[in-house]
Amino acid sequence: MKVGTDGVLLGAWAKTEKCKRILDVGTGTGLIALMLAQRSTAILDAIDIDPDACLQARENIATSPFANRIHVYQTPLSEYVPDGDIKYDLIVSNPPYFIDSLKCPDNKRNLARHTDTLSLPDLLRDSHKLLVPKGNIALVLPFEQRDSLIDFARKESLYPSRETYVSPVPGTAPKRLLIELSTEPAAEPQLSHLTLEIERHRYTDEFTALAKDFYLKM
């Protein structure tokens, strides 16, 4: 799987302050886990159901400066039991998001992209069980899934505390949603907008400020 903008956005945007333990659900190549390790001193656990993805993530992590703080496990979220009944300050996921759409011939891409491997209600329910009190869940999703996500979250007693609407270029509708869900309702959730490019391959100042620590040529 290629490094995608969605993963970079989430890895750069999720709040890591005061986090001691972080869980990355559906880690893939380990991109988000590595970014969060770069931005924090937390211990990270990363899970994925694909054995080849886990192998790739372990290889990437082993050659990084953060190898002693990231552990990769091949397991679905529904069956994941952390050692010592660990709970997490932050759980992040760039989850599958294609619903009832035509699948491609590549089974591994289907696993990563289609919700029949991990639905949003299942993700929220199983993640909530692993959070510390006042813990957070941070996700990146297609913007059109915002309303259904918030409905699912409410049923699991999870509430939006921070949202960023992401547009590809100026004057266009948001295509992605960065959202932080908390176990306690926020008096006034933080709302912001982010535009990625002024034009093709010309990044905005706001996206550059967010992601420059993770690109070699930004």
In tens, the pLDDT along 91-128 reads 999 988 744 433 445 444 444 443 456 799 999 999 99
2 band by pLDDT with thresholds 50, 70 and 90: low
Q: What is the pLDDT of residues 52-78, one digit of tens each?
A: 999 999 999 999 999 999 999 999 999
10 by Cβ neighbours in 10 Å (0-12 / 13-18 / 19+) ranks as buried
Cα–Cα distance measured from residue 145 to residue 160, given in angstroms and rounded to the nearest whole number: 14
* Token code pair at residue 193: 């907008």
Q: What is the pLDDT of residues 15-29, one digit of tens each?
A: 999 999 999 999 999
pLDDT the model gives residue 218: 78
pLDDT the model gives residue 103: 41
User: Which has the minimum average pLDDT: 79-83, 88-92, 127-131?
Assistant: 79-83
Expressed as residue numbers, the domain containing 115 is 5-214
The CATH number that applies at residue 61 is: 3.40.50.150
Sign of the dihedral through C-alpha 203, 14, 48, 55: positive
Q: How far is CA 198 from CA 115, 141, 149, in A?
A: 32, 22, 29
- The yes-or-no verdict on residue 168 having pLDDT over 50 is yes
Query: How big is the chain by its Cα radius of gyration, in Å?
Result: 17
Cα–Cα distance measured from residue 166 to residue 180, given in angstroms and rounded to the nearest whole number: 14
CB-based contact 104:159 (threshold 8 Å): no
* Token code pair at residue 27: 């880690």
Report CA 95 to chain centroid distance, whole Å. Answer: 7
Cα–Cα distance measured from residue 56 to residue 44, given in angstroms and rounded to the nearest whole number: 16
The closest alpha carbon to 49, from 128, 126, 157, 158, belongs to 126
**Domains contained in the chain, number:** 1
Q: Is 52 helix (H, G, I), strand (E, B) or coil?
A: helix
Supply the mean pLDDT for the chain: 90
Q: Whole-model pTM?
A: 0.90
Cα–Cα distance measured from residue 82 to residue 73, given in angstroms and rounded to the nearest whole number: 10
pLDDT the model gives residue 201: 82
The closest alpha carbon to 204, from 178, 179, 167, 165, belongs to 167
